[in-house]
Structure 1
């Protein structure tokens, strides 16, 4: 009998812990071929002339892929790395290594699903199956108390029913060994320059530097709970924002389930409450399931004509002031300076910046969503575009996590801690402003 080889296509699941496709491949195959493709689609320039993936976000990705390779090698495996279209590369590798089946985690946003469909079509021509797994949500869709088509559009109703009638599955075990075929050309991790990007400038004002990878994700989670283990239950509403786990969650360097069960364990051990953290995990599920249910209709503009005249006439200039932090509103400008310098701002600040662009400047919300896609190191299609759609009123604004986003900035009561740090003379470019 010939040996069975399964190709594991990594995308936004850059981990060996709680990774069902990796574990299942090891169990079902004699040899496992892990592959990561740097798809040029994600590094092209958008209509505004900006890269779809900015250099800070890309650097975090490169670090995460490098760490995945290291961890796979420690188990006896290897990660093949290629630059190019997965629909061309994966069939080539499947043919070269006599692959019997390809595994991957299913995505929900239209760009990602379209790429999956192209790969599936290409593999089908070779009579190979692309097997889909669900590994990006806290609750497995088969455990929901309703089919996808009947998921409540209201987050409040969704939350109530899911928490009452569903359970979060336990994490799958971490493999202790991988048997890989003989790799002829593992491929090298590209540089930023190879992806068409410059090295980012590390602004000295940044209090934290995010490093990609599963190892860093584990360290960040441990550090967070160590620093918060003294908190008495009911006194703190800690969320993903404060834990700063979202960059690693976005790339799947750590799973939502692992974060969830660690929160539960810490609550039991230390009598510490993290309701906000659990709520943020559920919001991530909600946005993904809404994309699964509605597709692009979930973020479709209700009325393309409403308010578009002002947006078309003034949108470009007003948008440029906003993206460069030159609106004249100190809080908004400071938030945008931090985003541009570090690739990260907290969720509350995102609501303020987005609400200002949409409600005050009357600029098309999709331009802001695309800009966040470029800059945020924790960019996730469903969460990013879903949040912007809420703020823009495409979906019910009452469902937004932060009602403050619907208010004019002048009426907001947010603390302006950003201003002292992010409005000094030295900007992210290192240029002194006279």
Structure 2
């Protein structure tokens, strides 16, 4: 099949060669009868060669035009223009080459159209996102900014070509301080009555072999206000529920006590008064827990030996203690951390775990202390694990949802972290980390 496709081109040049060979031989034989052999040969070459060159050039002229066209279209492709196609009437290798070239041109046109559509979609999304975006080159110049960035940092004017330092000179002091701190973070602009909260994110990457930085600024004020409203609604619901659960029995028992007193049934009166006292003290404790959570002071750190601190805990609640440290010292607020750990230890005992399986471990890590409270209770399902540390979330019927939230506040105020995870074989592990410095 391939030989048949090559036949027309081979036949043309083969026939041309045979014709000129026959012509040269005939002319040389005729001239040899008139001239010496060497003169006849030279004259034959002088007569046949120009004619041969002329016909060869005529035969190659269409192909030369095709090659020039191919070179021109390749140059157009290099410049991003894929609108050209070629035509070649003959078949064979050149016909296949032209057909392949046209298919390549069509594929490149389709890919270019797809890329243009994607770039248009991406640019539309970037320009209309509420997140302010700045792309900064290695020379600290802004090479791209979206509409939100122009509105936030340039009063609507284009920022391309300006240096990021010049933009920051006109920006609020809070933004400059957030940039100077480096990394991601949140900052507020304005007074307490008219405050705007922003989230700053910075990412470095390589673009065209050069380091660039993407700066993202997102306004969080509206979102935080919505979350604040939802939180207040939840607080009001929880407080209303607890107040109703306590005040309704108190009012009912007070009325019953008055009736008992009127009827002279004094023997039943102490029971009613004791129940009123119990509900009142429960309500008092409930309000005290909320106040403690809302007014948690900053921790007052002091050096305390671990052995003495753990000893105080074991006097108040039983647990096994495993440690791999000596009489090392830690800087903590003793009252706050004691309250946090007592909450966790009491939760472990209330989880249904045998008392002998409630364990605390302490280990020294390179830069931190790691405390773990372990039990063999029922553990937590995924939904509870995801929400257990949030304020006002509780699975207990009479729980306030503040115990674990308060513990989290205390640990994070010490510069530490808290995590909850289920143990293999059942039970829960509460892992705490505290700075060792």
Shorter-chain TM-score: what band?
under 0.3
TM-score by length of 1: 0.22
TM-score by length of 2: 0.22
Which is greater in Rg? 2
Higher strand share: 2
Give the structure, 1 or 2, with the largest relative contact order (CA under 8 Å, sep 6 or more): 1
